[in-house]
Chain A
Amino acid sequence: MEKLPRPKKMDSSMWVDEAIWGHRLYDEQTPWLCIMEFLNVLQSENQNGRAFKEGNFNTLRYTTYPRMYLRNILFNNPQMELIEKNFRNDNHSQWNKWIDEMNKNSGGMNVVDYSYLKKRFTSFQDFVEIINFLRSSTIEGENNKRWSSQFIFPYGPDCLYEDLRVTGTSISNDRRFFARTGEILYLMLSRSHKKDEILGYLSNKILDGKSSFNRLVALLQPDDEQFDGEKREGGYLPYSNLPEYDLLSDDWINLFNCNMPKYDVFPHLVNITGLHMIIYSLNRSKEVLNNLNNTTFILEIIAPQKTIIRDLASDSYSHNNNLSKQAIEEYILGIKNTEEWDKVITSGDPYEAARDLIVRRFSWRDDDKAKATSAEGLLDEFFKKASVRHKQHVQNFHRVWGREIGLVSKRSSRRLRYAPTDSLLKALVLSNVESKMEFQEFLDRLYTKYGFIIGDRQAEALLETGQADMEAFSENAVRLEERLSSMGLLKRLSDACAYVENPFVKVGIR
């Protein structure tokens, strides 16, 4: 498949990771923050009537909001409770003291006046209650990120703002936690077949801004808050079309169809999205490596004692974890097997020819600072630089996101391995079982859709190569069955037959 061209304006010291996975998969941006960034993009594009409409590929440009009043009130407001206590039963003083304090100490804004709040709430005490409540729905609860990287739950458009760095009264966008992975997600869904349905759902749930919680959050912000309305240039996603995009969008719709109460769908959405992103990243690596096997994951359903599955799950993890590194190597050093490289070697000035080729192929910007003196040496030097860069973030993506979504775990072992948590299992049931599904069929679905190897039937290919015994895998499946059963997601009929059930669909005895 043809790769889309690199957008002209995109600045980068080289074009390697970006060319393979897009710009960019970033380990420090957690799946939750990826969804938050995604919603920011979607909201902005929706406002301009362009939601999920891409025009020319990779030309996303969207507006972001700082919402500094809201964020100071919620996350940079240490005096509030103290003031409430010190001036108890004196509503007037409470407000005045607090407004005074906030006007002096707010970050990221020049001219500040919080007095609009006073007439919007019955009492300062009520105001404090509301702030405390909203804080309690901070994304990823007790994290230790800076205050300007804290986010409240996305009840609606008035809750969306971008990650920022605040220095005194000025703000800057340092892409610390909104590092474009959300843009990638936006582009993926824009290129998927269910984008309209997704937009339909999110419009009703979030984008229309009608929810009372969104209006509450809007109430905390001044009417005349000036938004810079700064435009952000969007990321780069290399392929116009991939089955991965469609599978991702299918799962989103499946989850929406469960009709969970309130906003309960979100945690599941986060986990499932994370999983699809991991699969996407592994598949891109394999493409470079010309590895045509399906991506698989051997999952240990945690057993009380060490089992052979635990080792296999660790091996499977390490195998996958190394793929991106190998892909980089192949992508760069593989050039040696091309005719172009032969020409370089046989040319009059191999060094210059090599330099030309590397700059052309990989858009290397710092070629003039290279220390190498030979063509080969130059390529190696470049490879080392690219590897160092890769190691910083993209290489960690599989591990960090795997742990975030509960796919990768170290529990009772020193090695990392695939061992899903309850919440991931629940997300998998909800996005794959419409009402009920026979257990073996469920295992099979997980295998064909995500490459998850859990039971003996899925492990057949491994068994043929003598890697494991049937029994260990069928015990693994039994453990999953028991676990789903105690989570209320499975009904067992006899030793040979069990049904996985979606708890939101059927009403009856459980």
Chain B
Amino acid sequence: MYDESIQRTIDKKGIAPIKVEPQYLSELIANFKTSYPSSVILTGTAGDGKTYYCREVWLALGGDKEEWDNGETIKILQLKEHSLYVIKDLSELSEDNRYIINEMAESIKQDNGKVFLVAANDGQLLEKWKNIECNYIVSEVADCIEDLLVSEQQQKEGYNLQLINLSRTNSAKVFPKIVKSVVSHPGWDECHNCSLKENESVEKRCPIWENKKRLEGSGNEKVLLDRLVDLLELCELNEVHIPIRQLLLLISNMILGHPDARDKLMSCGQVPKISENRSVSSASIYRNIFGENLSERRRETTDIFSTLNRFGIGTESNNFIDNILIFGEDDPELTDLFKKYMTSDEFYGADETFKAEQKSYLEGEVSKEESDRFLNRLRSQRQRLFFTVNAIDIEEIQIWDLTSFKYAGEFLEKVHRQLENGKRVQPKILTRLVKGINRISTGLLTKDSDVIYLSTSGSHSQSKISRVFESEISVRPNRGESVDINLENGKPVLIVKISLSDEIDHVSLKLHLVRYEFISRVAEGELPGSFSRECYEDLLAFKSRLLNQLEYRKKIEGVYETDPDRMVLELLRINNEGMLYRRTVEVEFE
């Protein structure tokens, strides 16, 4: 639906569309040009560009534009040796047309002269395939589709089908391309003669242009863009996919957002009024990133903003940063940073209003309302700081403390990107993770990090404190045991190997942001009460899997420890250095 109305708008207004080379397009077109094309199912989240792909393939293969717009659900195009059936939205398929599913299933199992290009979100896809009156082939293909979806694979042997999940497109990689396409769009040329563009007087300058400039960055200074890419990358690592439509929405709101504007988005005509009302600071691109120009309800219901707001940027902080913001002007040790990051930004930084409010706040001569207003400004400044602190100061100003995930920066740079560059993760990080896992697994405040301890309470493995030692797994490689962090499917995974034998699988734990943060914080003993308990359950499930796998190892290796005449109970204790040791108690059964 979106794609169609956008096409109409483009035609009507005569604007050049924003174009980004789509990842799979050439591959798709090539597929249908061969003599043995395979059918393709495109799935993905709403806004990933499914319809766009279908249309582009249609046109590239010589399909007619008018026919595309004629409203038929199923469109047919003659290829070299096959008829191509394009269904751009499977959910539009009416009852009468359900037979087409049978034909498609057939074409996937054996060449029947037909080939398909079908787009659907995966929920509808399965529903359509599973609810149909089943013949054998349909249900077989339906199972294949389900397998491909769940196992994140593209193809399966014996089926002439490719399942392309557009949700696996990495938004962090696409985003800079879209930004480039937006900021270099020819439409900006019309601003050349605008008097507000770079007006001498700061108050009169156009916030739209200012925001565009900041998004674009200058030369190598692209802090804002880099940091946004960081956030998007973290979302992807956290298994939250952001479709292209949401990225476009984000960019337009970043540039145009203003709470007082009509529809909350500024147009050129409204700019003079905004300057007049001295409310340019409300157009701050740093606030707009989080949708602060929108109503709370709108913000929460728009995916991209609710996702970005989960980082808590603006509400989280540390003492050092807040000291710069509040006392920086008068504190000789902080004043340099205050100047560099606050007063130097005449537009969105510490302007006169900020300074005046700051002064009254510090002198305590404010009403509740005024102090709230100042705290709100602080929030905006923290958001701005997150997107402006450059590489030189990043060690001193710990910008990730401005988010709910203080280990996020480390996770991204020293784990994910480190691995992507083919390097190993530093031992100290692995040590910390193992320590955290040991604390969760045993419920004891241990510092051990050479082995993973597995213990139970005797009765259950999931109890808060588990003192009965079951087993340990060496972190350094030792007789097939080892613990390491590697990339799997492009994502960091903690891999626990427990045997040299191929028969015994390793146990792995995907390290996404929340888990990484949770384990790290447990290891450092600073888990805030607000942090979700759900993660704890999650890690206990990991422990269960380890225990099960060790049980399996015992079986395979033929070690049956149950000596009918004796019981050895090893109870974990902790010494003054915080290290675990085992106290062994033996009991003889007569």
A residues near B (Cβ < 8 Å) are 120-122, 126, 129-130, 133-134, 136-137, 153, 155, 212-213, 215-216, 219, 259-264, 266-267, 422-423, 426, 436, 438, 440, 483, 485-489, 491-497, 499, 503-504, 507-510
Contacts and interface: CB of A to CB of B under 8 A. Distances in A.
A496 B589 contact: no
Contacts of A213: 458-459
A264 B585 contact: no
B549 A507 contact: yes
B508 interface: yes
B548 A261 contact: yes
A130 B537 contact: no
B41 interface: no
A497 B510 contact: no
A494 B45 contact: yes
A490 to B, nearest CB: 10
A212 B567 contact: yes
Nearest to B463: A137
A306 B150 CA distance: 35
B545 A507 contact: yes
A488 B538 contact: yes
Given A264-B544, A494-B241, A496-B124, A133 B586 contact: no
Given A129-B583, A493-B150, 16 more contacts: A122-B585, A133-B571, A136-B467, A213-B458, A213-B459, A216-B569, A260-B544, A266-B459, A267-B460, A422-B533, A440-B123, A486-B532, A493-B149, A494-B123, A495-B45, A497-B149
A266 B564 CA distance: 25
Contacts of A504: 544-545, 548
Interface string B212-243: 00000000000000000000000000010100
8 contacts: A129-B571, A129-B585, A133-B571, A134-B458, A261-B544, A261-B548, A262-B456, A426-B537
A497 B551 CA distance: 34
B459 A155 contact: yes
Contacts of B239: 485, 492
Contacts of A503: 541, 544-545
Give the interface centre of A120, A137, A492 by most chain B CB atoms within 10 Å: A137
B59 interface: no
B549 A488 contact: no
B572 to A, nearest CB: 11
Interface in B505-545: 505, 507-510, 514, 532-535, 537-538, 541-542, 544-545
A348 to B, nearest CB: 67
Contacts of A120: 587
Contacts of B532: 486
B488 A137 contact: no
B46 interface: yes
Contacts of A495: 45-46, 121, 303
Contact of A486 (B44, B125, B507, B534): B534
A212 to B, nearest CB: 4
Interface in B112-160: 121-126, 149-150
Contacts of B537: 422-423, 426, 487-488
Contacts of B44: 494
A266 B460 contact: yes
A493 B122 contact: yes
Given A219-B589, A488-B537, A509-B510, A493 B167 contact: yes
Interface of B: 43-46, 121-126, 149-150, 165, 167, 239, 241, 303, 456-462, 465, 467-468, 488-489, 493, 505, 507-510, 514, 532-535, 537-538, 541-542, 544-545, 547-549, 551, 562, 567, 569, 571, 583, 585-587, 589
A444 B21 CA distance: 41
B133 to A, nearest CB: 19
Contacts of B122: 493-494, 496-497
A479 B165 CA distance: 24
Given A493-B149, A495-B46, A510 B508 contact: yes
Contacts of A422: 533-534, 537
A153 B456 CA distance: 13
B548 to A, nearest CB: 6
A174 B121 CA distance: 62
Contacts of A493: 122, 149-150, 165, 167
Contacts of A507: 505, 507, 545, 549
A485 B548 CA distance: 22
Contacts of A488: 537-538, 541-542
B36 to A, nearest CB: 29
A168 B571 CA distance: 35
Give the interface centre of B241, B541, B587 by most chain A CB atoms within 10 Å: B587
A133 B462 CA distance: 16
Nearest to A483: B534
Contacts of B585: 122, 126, 129-130
A187 B534 CA distance: 36
B505 A494 contact: no
Contacts, number: 144
Nearest to B121: A496
A369 B534 CA distance: 57
Nearest to B240: A492
A32 to B, nearest CB: 12
A382 B167 CA distance: 68
A219 B587 CA distance: 9
Contact of A262 (B241, B460, B508, B589): B460
Give the interface centre of A262, A267, A491 by most chain B CB atoms within 10 Å: A262
A121 B459 contact: no
Contacts of A423: 537
A485 B44 CA distance: 19
Given A133-B571, A219-B587, A496 B45 contact: yes
A482 to B, nearest CB: 9
Give the interface centre of A440, A485, A487 by most chain B CB atoms within 10 Å: A487
Contacts of B587: 120-122, 126, 130, 216, 219
A499 B219 CA distance: 46
B461 A264 contact: yes
A308 to B, nearest CB: 14
Contacts of A262: 456, 459-461, 547
B92 to A, nearest CB: 15
A261 B567 contact: no
A498 to B, nearest CB: 9
B16 to A, nearest CB: 30
Contacts of A219: 587, 589
A445 to B, nearest CB: 15
Contacts of B551: 261
B124 A133 contact: no
Nearest to B534: A486
A258 to B, nearest CB: 10
A365 to B, nearest CB: 44
B440 to A, nearest CB: 13
Nearest to B456: A262
Nearest to A153: B459
Nearest to B167: A494
A510 B539 CA distance: 10
A27 B285 CA distance: 59
Kindly list the 6 A-B residue pairs having the minimum CB-CB distance in the complex, ordered from nearest: A496-B123, A488-B538, A497-B122, A153-B459, A496-B121, A497-B123
Contacts of B43: 494
A130 B547 CA distance: 23
A126 B456 CA distance: 19
Contacts of B538: 486-488
A499 B151 CA distance: 11
A126 B588 CA distance: 12
A487 B122 CA distance: 23
Contacts of A509: 488-489, 493, 508, 510
A477 B124 CA distance: 18
B461 A261 contact: yes
Nearest to A422: B537
A133 B458 contact: yes
A120 B590 CA distance: 9
B533 A130 contact: no
